[in-house]
Every structure is written in C-alpha cells, then in structure tokens.
C-alpha cells in the first residue's frame, strides 16, 4: 500500500496536482487576489473552473485504501463512478475507474499502477468556447514519466453544473 501511495504522490507531484507537503492543490489555496464571493459565483456559472474540476476528478480516482489496496469507502466501480458524476460524465468516469480499479469477491481494489497523464495545475492552457454551455481546454505538458503530451478536456454544463465530458491525451 505504501508503495502505491508513494507512486501516486510522485505522479501527482510530477503533474503538479500535489504540493510537496502532500496536499491536493486547488484554486482556493492560491494567494492571488480573488473576486468577491458573489462575483466568483457568477463567473463560475458562465464557464467551468477548469483547475478545480480537474483536481477533484483526479482526487476522486484515489480513494482511501488499506495495505492490501482494498478501497475503504466503496465496494464497486459503479459506486465510484456515481460519486464522480458531480465532476464528470458517466462515460469519462467509467473509462478511468475501469482502468484503475478491480472488483474481487464483492470488494473494490486499487490496481497498483501510475496514474495516467493529466492536466497540470498552474501550467499554461488555452480555452476554446464552443457555446454558452460547452468549452474545450487544451494543455501541452512534459514530465519524466510520460514525456511530451497534450491533453484536451471538454466541459459541458449539465443540470446547472460543469462536468468533464471527454478527455483526449496525445
């Protein structure tokens, strides 16, 4: 278990999603000037909070597990996918959950492996507005594990909140 956690943390540090202190990075921890709460709420409803959604998605793919990689708070992949519906569509969440977890004897386990390439918080990215309720984010990255790669995240407003609708890595 310790090796799995360490590998996951190394991967997260590599992609800029975890600070060296081990905390998941998010936009609320940044020291940059923030607009008033009222203004922030209005802005978030018009466009997706890309960094927060990407960080939450990745965090949701790393639930607590025991020393045998048994997930503590979920017993099925379906339950994890259902939990992730606040940040991603069922098809996007299922693709990642199916790759990172396995079910055995009515229990859910983490498959020990490196996390896939992902959005790097704090790195440059471009945003393309497809419509009032659809955006595409493109980021070009490089790290030791995956080398150079590009990630495209598509977002849509579903039931009045933003979710990741597709992920493409090349």
pLDDT, tens digit (0-9, with 9 covering 90-100), for 38-81:
444 444 458 999 999 999 999 999 999 999 999 999 999 999 99
**Tokens coding 153:** 């995240």
Contact 48, 135 (CB under 8 A): yes
Q: Is the pLDDT of residue 83 over 60?
A: yes
pLDDT above 70: residue 11: no
Per the listing, tokens 């956690």 go with: 5
Tens of pLDDT, residues 101-125: 999 999 999 999 999 999 999 999 9
Report the predicted TM-score, pTM, of the whole model to 2 decimal places.
0.73
- Site of tokens 């030791």: 144
> pLDDT value at position 46?
85
Closest listed residue to residue 46, CA positions, set 129, 137, 136: 129
Please say whether the structural domain 2-169 has been given the CATH code 3.10.450. Answer: yes
Give me the mean pLDDT over the 143-161 stretch: 95
DSSP state of 84: G
Nearest to 114 by CA among 55, 57, 61: 61
């Amino acid at each position: 278990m310790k090796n799995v956690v360490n590998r996951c943390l190394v991967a997260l540090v590599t992609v800029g999603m975890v600070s060296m202190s081990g905390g998941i990075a998010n936009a609320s921890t940044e020291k940059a000037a923030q607009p008033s709460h009222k203004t922030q709420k209005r802005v978030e409803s018009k466009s997706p909070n890309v960094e927060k959604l990407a960080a939450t998605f990745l965090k949701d793919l790393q639930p607590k597990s025991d020393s045998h990689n048994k997930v503590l708070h979920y017993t099925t992949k379906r339950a994890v996918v259902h939990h992730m519906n606040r940040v991603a569509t069922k098809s996007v969440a299922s693709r990642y959950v199916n790759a990172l977890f396995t079910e055995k004897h009515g229990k859910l386990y983490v498959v020990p492996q490196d996390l896939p390439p992902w959005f790097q918080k704090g790195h440059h990215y471009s945003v393309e507005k497809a419509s009032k309720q659809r955006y595409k984010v493109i980021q070009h990255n490089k790290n030791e594990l995956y080398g150079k790669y590009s990630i495209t995240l598509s977002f849509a407003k579903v039931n009045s909140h933003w979710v990741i609708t597709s992920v493409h890595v090349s």
